[in-house]
A and B are shown apart, each in its own frame.
Chain A
Amino acid sequence: MSGVLLKLTGVRKRFGAVRVLEGASLEARAGEVHAVLGENGAGKSTLMRILAGVISADAGQVTLDGRAVSLGSPSAAVAAGIRTVFQDLSVIPQLTVADNLLYGSETSARGLVLRRRRQELARKLLDGFGLGRIDTAAPVSELGLGDRQLLEVVKALRKSPRVLILDEATSALSATDSAWVLAQGRAAAAAGAAVLLITHRLHEVRATADRITVLRSGVDVLNGTVDELEDDALITAMLGRRAEVLYPSRVPPSAEDVLKVVGLVAQGLPGPIDLQVNRGEILGVGGLQGQGQRELLMALAGAQPWAGGVATLLGAAYAPRSPREALRRGVAYVPEDRQREGLFLGHSVQSNITISGLGSFVRHGLLDARAELRAAQDAAARVGISHDRLSARASTMSGGNQQKVVLAKALLGEPAVLLLHDCTRGVDVGTKAEIFELMSRIAAAGTAILFYSSDLSELVHVCDRVAVIAEGRLGAVISRDELTEDAILRVAVRLTAGSHGRVAA
């Protein structure tokens, strides 16, 4: 039995008015993998970012080997032996693989010689981890997302850490890559490190971890060894209640098609894709991550040029050359990244909601402020944002509410087709349920919805049919009565067998 290496007591942190951590505690032992579980927003990532020195806690203590440590900056954390595999990666795309791996340990010497030496060092390092296939001279920007994540792991392990943090390091990886990362975690623990594992996948916890701590609303609510804790108990602890049915009832769609696409080809989408969405239907778009789903939705939204194919929208030819044209034709798009693609963070909620429909509020050349306010209030009411938040800055809203603002913006023009790109990612369970309810209502009112989600169970429960995309091609369209997670995965995997996609969810 090894002793406690890392101990956090009473850690508190708030961002503005939002209290993220309210006295969380954690004890991690050397030689063990310690899983930290919790819903989105439970405070796991904040806790890990405090440990990594990225942000500092408002209160609380961190001790390492019984001695209090101050983690004021990432370099202080590194100096203390705490290494983090960051969720949103710390490798710098513009630098080469070798430069990234050896970052901070360059030694001064003469140009070419040095560069070759660095390549050798990096080469040796990667070979040691069985990653010989990665070119050390390539800029990281040329690597796939998965390989970047693996580099991130190698970087963290390079100087054998005392504490290793794997913050959702496997969420973007294929099963084999995930297994490799988890094996590295186990190996680090075997070498005497305390490993903190954050993941959403219970089976990974069961396979890898020794001990579990569950966080809920910024406090640790449960901990124990893997063997003591049943799945049910974990889920109850995470949710604070039994998981209840999250999904709304659905009105069956009509057979009248709203959008019909034949032979769509675009960059990153070799296709050809044939699709049809009917009035009131929610058509899921599924498959492994990064198989062309983004490109498909972008092309339909006019944000990506078409290389081929024809489409009809409400009976008329449809080939949008810009998002503006798509919006004018009644096709609204909710992009993947709400902070970078969906919102003007510094502007008010109202300006965000009405930006696409400004033309309709113009009277005598100027904006009719009252008409604009009314429209914004209507849209806000539909998604469940209270009117007094309309003048707040978008940046002050929580993630879930920000997503609602983006949805309100898309709904303002009463679209005939709504394209949703993973609009429930990073959103808390309550808001998720609200969003599904909203989708169901919009569909019942006659809007056709295309819904891409990285979460298979959402697709299964919310959609009428699911189109599975693999390698930019349409694998199959699975109908309601055959719709299971298993069925989606089967199509996705069979099509990409041997071609190394990443499993979603």
Chain B
Amino acid sequence: MKQVGSWIRGRLGVASSYALCAVLFVIGAIHSPGFASASNIRQMLVFASFVGFAALGQTLVIIAGGLDLTVPWLMAFGGIELSRLAAGGMPAVPAIALVVAIGAIIGLINGVGVTWLRIAPIVMTLAMGGLVQAFLLAVGELQSTGDQVPAVAVHLASNRVGPFPVVAIVWLGFAVAAGIVLSRSAFGRRLYAVGANDTVAWLSGVNVALIRILTYTISGAMTTFGGVVLAGYVGTTYLDIGGPYLFTSIAAVIIGGASILGGSGSYWGTVAGALTLTVLSSLLPLFQLSNAGLEIVYGVVILIGVWLASTGHRLLGRLWRRGLALPDNMQGGAGDVSA
């Protein structure tokens, strides 16, 4: 019993992210019955999985103490490059494999720049994003776009197995795999070590450079894959298609309880973050909120979500135990939100 208690306590951060998501969902369901319908839930799962793909690599990168800003451009790259290859006559499956491989290589370059050249992650990935953007602009300017997205990608994004969308199942598979790798593999443990303190990790015999490079490589591959699926869903490609995902991929990770300083976090937390963001963006239009209102609420929820995942749940727990009496020592500062 005591162990169960400590297990839960150790995961309160993640649990509070799911709780936030559930609360938002219930609000939506109460407000409009259609919100909890199977088709709407499916729709939200599909949207959430795009965020989830982009945020998987981001989770690993952030746990290792880095940051990946190439996300929006790699999302766009996935779809545009796939369509281009397909238009050139390449069969869809090898084309997808090739595109994802190129994404991985771009991620690899990020990793090499960050580890070997010791360029700050923000700067390195920002510059790489710029180069990818330049490539996409060049492709768009030098030849006509509007190529068809191959049918395989379209099917992947819109088919179902029974009541479940294929993308969501793929996402679940990735989540299970990422969860196991992070908590049960040597790579996962070394990843947390690198993020917590890279000097200690290095002196403890961890191949810090390799771990870091791997995280960026995985991030590059996963984000590009997300771009392929997204293009399949939208049915067409354009340069700004990845725009929203810079923000959401990072927000999902930190709402999920990871520290932006590295060394903590989990992919199941990120899944909660992705779901929360998606539920929120489907919920707000129901309240006739304009785009502007949506953005404001988005930001507020992110701040609340991060606060809940880091210190808020402890504070709320304390309040709860005191029978909701205000604690006497509660002053302006709520302590250290380390996320």
Whether the complex brings A and B within 8 Å at their CB atoms is answered yes
Q: Which residues of A contact B (CB under 8 A)?
A: 301, 303, 322-324, 326-328, 333, 335, 340-347, 351, 355-356, 358-359, 361-362, 365-367, 369, 409
Interface contact B196-A347, CB-CB below 8 Å:
yes
Main secondary structure of the interface of B (DSSP, over half): helix
Which B residues lie within 8 Å of A340 (CB)?
A: 197, 199-200
- Which of B184, B192, B202 has a CB less than 8 Å from the CB of A323? B202
Interface contact B203-A351, CB-CB below 8 Å:
no
Interface residues of B in 44-82 (CB under 8 A from A): none
Interface contact B204-A323, CB-CB below 8 Å:
yes
- Nearest CB of A to B60, in Å: 17
Interface contact A367-B206, CB-CB below 8 Å:
no
Interface contact B205-A344, CB-CB below 8 Å:
no
- Nearest CB of A to B207, in Å: 6
Interface contact A358-B190, CB-CB below 8 Å:
yes
Which B residues lie within 8 Å of A367 (CB)?
A: 184-186, 189
In the complex, what distance in Å separates the CA atom of A229 from the CA atom of B163? Answer: 87
- List 11 A-B pairs, Cβ < 8 Å: A324-B207, A327-B205, A340-B200, A342-B200, A344-B196, A355-B204, A355-B205, A358-B190, A366-B185, A367-B184, A367-B186
In the complex, what distance in Å separates the CA atom of A343 from the CA atom of B196? Answer: 9
Which B residues lie within 8 Å of A333 (CB)?
A: 203
Interface contact B186-A335, CB-CB below 8 Å:
no
In the complex, what distance in Å separates the CA atom of A141 from the CA atom of B14? Answer: 43
Chain B residue at minimal CB-CB distance from A328? B205
Interface contact A301-B203, CB-CB below 8 Å:
yes
Interface contact A355-B206, CB-CB below 8 Å:
yes
- Nearest CB of A to B241, in Å: 36
Excluding A327-B204, A346-B263, 12 further A-B contacts by CB distance (< 8 Å) are A323-B202, A323-B203, A335-B203, A343-B200, A356-B205, A356-B206, A358-B186, A358-B190, A359-B186, A366-B180, A366-B184, A367-B184
Interface contact B207-A355, CB-CB below 8 Å:
no
Interface string of B176-194 (1 = CB under 8 A from A): 0000100011100110110
**B98 interface contact, C-beta 8 A:** no
- Nearest CB of B to A495, in Å: 30
Interface centre among B185, B189, B203, B206 (most CB of A within 10 A): B203
In the complex, what distance in Å separates the CA atom of A369 from the CA atom of B207? Answer: 22
- Nearest CB of A to B153, in Å: 31
Which B residues lie within 8 Å of A301 (CB)?
A: 203
Interface string of B201-226 (1 = CB under 8 A from A): 11111110000000000000000000
Which B residues lie within 8 Å of A362 (CB)?
A: 185-186
In the complex, what distance in Å separates the CA atom of A327 from the CA atom of B186? Answer: 17
Interface contact A324-B206, CB-CB below 8 Å:
yes
Which B residues lie within 8 Å of A366 (CB)?
A: 180, 184-185
In the complex, what distance in Å separates the CA atom of A361 from the CA atom of B189? Answer: 12
**B270 interface contact, C-beta 8 A:** no
- Nearest CB of B to A105, in Å: 30
- Nearest CB of A to B186, in Å: 4
* Given A324-B207, A344-B193, A347-B196: A355 touches B184 (CB 8 Å cut-off): no
Which B residues lie within 8 Å of A358 (CB)?
A: 186, 189-190
* Given A327-B205, A328-B205: A347 touches B186 (CB 8 Å cut-off): no
Which B residues lie within 8 Å of A328 (CB)?
A: 205
Interface contact B199-A355, CB-CB below 8 Å:
no
Interface centre among B190, B202, B264 (most CB of A within 10 A): B202
Interface contact B204-A409, CB-CB below 8 Å:
yes
Which A residues lie within 8 Å of B201 (CB)?
A: 344, 355
In the complex, what distance in Å separates the CA atom of A356 from the CA atom of B205? Answer: 6
Which B residues lie within 8 Å of A327 (CB)?
A: 204-205
- Nearest CB of B to A207, in Å: 40
In the complex, what distance in Å separates the CA atom of A21 from the CA atom of B64? Answer: 39
In the complex, what distance in Å separates the CA atom of A369 from the CA atom of B201? Answer: 20
Interface contact A323-B197, CB-CB below 8 Å:
no
Which A residues lie within 8 Å of B263 (CB)?
A: 344, 346-347
- Nearest CB of A to B183, in Å: 9
Which B residues lie within 8 Å of A359 (CB)?
A: 186
Interface contact B205-A324, CB-CB below 8 Å:
yes
In the complex, what distance in Å separates the CA atom of A351 from the CA atom of B186? Answer: 11
Which A residues lie within 8 Å of B185 (CB)?
A: 362, 365-367
Which A residues lie within 8 Å of B197 (CB)?
A: 340, 343-345
- Which of B193, B202, B206 has a CB less than 8 Å from the CB of A347? B193
- Nearest CB of B to A284, in Å: 22
Shortest 10 CB-CB contacts between residues of A and residues of B: A327-B205, A358-B186, A324-B205, A344-B196, A366-B184, A356-B205, A355-B204, A356-B204, A323-B203, A323-B205
- Nearest CB of B to A387, in Å: 15
* Given A346-B196, A366-B184: A303 touches B189 (CB 8 Å cut-off): no
Which A residues lie within 8 Å of B264 (CB)?
A: 346
In the complex, what distance in Å separates the CA atom of A503 from the CA atom of B197? Answer: 32
In the complex, what distance in Å separates the CA atom of A248 from the CA atom of B203? Answer: 29
Which B residues lie within 8 Å of A324 (CB)?
A: 205-207
Interface contact A341-B184, CB-CB below 8 Å:
no
In the complex, what distance in Å separates the CA atom of A301 from the CA atom of B205? Answer: 10
In the complex, what distance in Å separates the CA atom of A410 from the CA atom of B204? Answer: 8
Chain B residue at minimal CB-CB distance from A325? B205
Which A residues lie within 8 Å of B202 (CB)?
A: 303, 322-323
In the complex, what distance in Å separates the CA atom of A355 from the CA atom of B203? Answer: 10
- Which of A341, A346, A361 has a CB less than 8 Å from the CB of B199? A341
